Structure 1
Amino acid sequence: MALANTTTHYGAVARTFHWLTALLILTAIPLGLVANAIPLDSDAAVAQKTLLFSIHKTVGVTAFFVALARILWAVVQPRPVALHPDRRAETFAAATVHWTLYAALVLVPLSGWLHHAATTGFAPIWWPFGQSLPFVPVDFRVAEFFAAWHWVFTKVLAAAIVLHVVGALKHALIDRDATLVRMVSGRCEVDVPAHREGRAPVAVAAALWLAAIAGGSALGWPHDEAATAFETPAASSQWLIEEGTVSITVRQLGAEVTGSFADWIAAVDFDPATEGAIKGQVEATILLDSLALGSVTAQALGPDFLDAAAHPSATFSAVITEHPNGDGYLAMGTLSLRGVAVPVELPFTFRPDGERATVQAEVTLDRRDFGVGQTLVDESTLGFAVRVGIDLSALRP
């Protein structure tokens, strides 16, 4: 059994790479689809979803390295020529799909791996080399960007697989030639004339992938931060937010997962120099469907959790006083979420620096107080505590 290729035969190494890659990809795809469809409505469902996603990611990373090895082998080997070079349109289409598929075998698992590396705590890859990647920060915006790439790239991969399989079946069932046979057994009894494929299929495949990368980048580009402002009646105490983040951190299966809301607005009437106990008041609204929480965003917005469809926003209304311990300030009021109003005290710091100021706040809530994730009663699956962080930079207009 010959290991190397010839101009008419595929060697054992190329055939092994081909079928191993097919096995890995056709295993990873259904695993991802099934895992994504599992609702996070019970402790058992969370465990099952995590298990399937871990297998999906591990198989995907394995496919990435196998695909790299396959491509490197193909570079140093002759490629068997097409059996029907006279069918120019068919040969061109087959070569284009071939190169599109080669790129997909690398880009699809790579984009998924990049997404995973930018998230924290959910469905680890089963290997001893860590979960991060160099130069990939753990950041929900980065994660969403690569998640969009992965979503687009998987569609290109699926289309290329379908076209590849249809072409193989045509050769086997209609043409009845040796195209599929030589990938199965390596045999090819037909005398094929030598010919050159040309670079046009590579150029077309490259153009397709540039379009896919552009589309994925457009879908995954971070939302602009909310046009949030401190709006007060007095011009001297009015602040405009230059940058701002409202984040949440939950503990899932023992690891922290952090996300952020992109759309929110706050009106704050606040002046530390105001005489009396009350220094101001705050009214804030957060649009729940602007949450990005990695691979569990859709479930977090579902009816068992934030229920964004029925309750699209959360509101916080409070008065501001000095903190009793003298360190910063305290916004004391009510947080309304999922139709439930709960008293909340939000400690924060306000640090002016000329015409600018920074505000930082953090509070820990109990998700059970708002009826979030009521079916998840095991805290080791999903922690009861939810840490809310606020980090703002404001400019005095």
Structure 2
Amino acid sequence: MNIFLRTAAVLALVSAPLAFAPAANAAEWAVDHDTSSLTFSVRHGEKIVSGSFTDWDAAIDFDPEKTEAATIKVNVKTGSVATDDGQMGKTLTGEAWLDAGSFEQATFSSDEVVPTGEGSYDAIGTLTIRGISMPMTLPFVLDIKGDKAHAKGGSTLQRLDYKIGSQIDENTLDGVVKVEFDLNATKK
């Protein structure tokens, strides 16, 4: 179970930053960390293990009228993974998992945001965990009222693509990690 939680935490950490980052000539947003979250979940045996990252930042530059100018960059401190099981959180930062000692940050970076419907978008970018970069599409919905924005979204990642908990087979710990974010931001 500790291995499962570690893997889940690593994946969540990497995915979470996918939500927002700044871009040139759009609209810059400041994320309210107190009301925002970056979470992950993964199946471990018959249970779902969930966790979050507590230390991350996002540079978001996004205007729904100028999506071509959007930029998003999320940096997640891999050592800030937290789970309901404190021991599991410590395991996830270890060398076989997120390897926070060698790879202090996971990042998501996008300079292509594509509208997919009324208030919904895909941020197309790159997720880097443990120094391994892979393409990622992060679907999200966005509601802007005045200078306040609320965005929710998420995606999945294959933990073995990033060598997270690679000693644990997928029958014990699912290879797919679900990452979700719920962000509130104010226009700068």
TM norm structure 2: 0.81
- Report the number of matched residues: 170
Q: List, as ranges, runs of 4+ consecutive aligned residues in structure 1 with deviation greater than 6 Å.
A: none
Task: State the identity %.
Answer: 30
Structure 2 distance, partners of 1:230, 1:272, is: 14
Deviation of the 1:238 alpha carbon: 2.6
State whether residues 320 and 332 of structure 1, in contact with CA within 8 Å, keep that contact through their aligned partners in structure 2.
yes
Equivalent residue in structure 1 for 2:133, among 337, 341, 355: 341
CA gap of 1:250–1:322, structure 2 versus 1, over 3 A, is: same
8 Å contact kept, 1:272–1:279: no
1:309 to 71, 88, 101: 101
What are the ranges of 5 or more consecutive residues in structure 1 without an aligned counterpart?
A: 1-37, 41-45, 47-120, 122-228
- Per residue, is there more helix in 1 or in 2? 1
Q: CA, structure 1 residues 297+273, in 2 after alignment: closer, same or farther (shift >3 Å)?
A: same
Within the candidate set 78, 81, 91, 1:291 is matched to 81
Structure 1 residue 339 displacement after superposition: 1.2
| Distance apart, 1:266 and its partner CA | 1.1
CA change 1:230–1:323 in 2 (3 A) is: closer
Would the alpha carbon gap of residues 393 and 338 (structure 1) be closer, same or farther in structure 2, given more than 3 Å must change?
Answer: same
CA displacement 1:134-188 (0-9 Å, x = unmatched): xxxxxxxxxxxxxxxxxxxxxxxxxxxxxxxxxxxxxxxxxxxxxxxxxxxxxxx
Q: Determine which of 356, 361, 377 is the counterpart of 2:153.
A: 361
Unmatched tracts of structure 2, length 5 or more: 6-19
**Correspondence for 1:386 among 177, 183, 186:** 177
386-395 vs 242-251, which deviates more? Answer: 242-251
Deviations 1:25-80 (A, max 9, x none): xxxxxxxxxxxxx974xxxxx8xxxxxxxxxxxxxxxxxxxxxxxxxxxxxxxxxx
**Counterpart pick for 2:49 among 246, 257, 263:** 257
Structure number with bigger Rg? 1
SS in 2 for 1:380: coil
Q: Is the contact between residue 329 and residue 347 of structure 1 (CA under 8 Å) also seen in structure 2?
A: yes
- The answer to whether the Cα contact below 8 Å between 1:279 and 1:322 also exists between their aligned partners in 2 is no
Using the alignment, how far apart are the partners of 1:383 and 1:359 within structure 2?
Answer: 27
* One-letter identity of the residue aligned with 1:340: I
Q: 1:382 aligns to what SS in structure 2?
A: coil
* 1:363 and 1:388 in contact (8 A); partners too: yes
Instruction: Work out whether 1:270 is the aligned partner of 2:62.
Output: yes
Higher relative contact order (Cα pairs below 8 Å, separated by 6+ residues): 2
- Paired letter, 2:183: L
* Aligned 8 A contact 1:273 1:279 in 2: no
Q: CA deviation at 1:351?
A: 0.5
Using the size of structure 1 for normalisation, the TM-score is 0.40
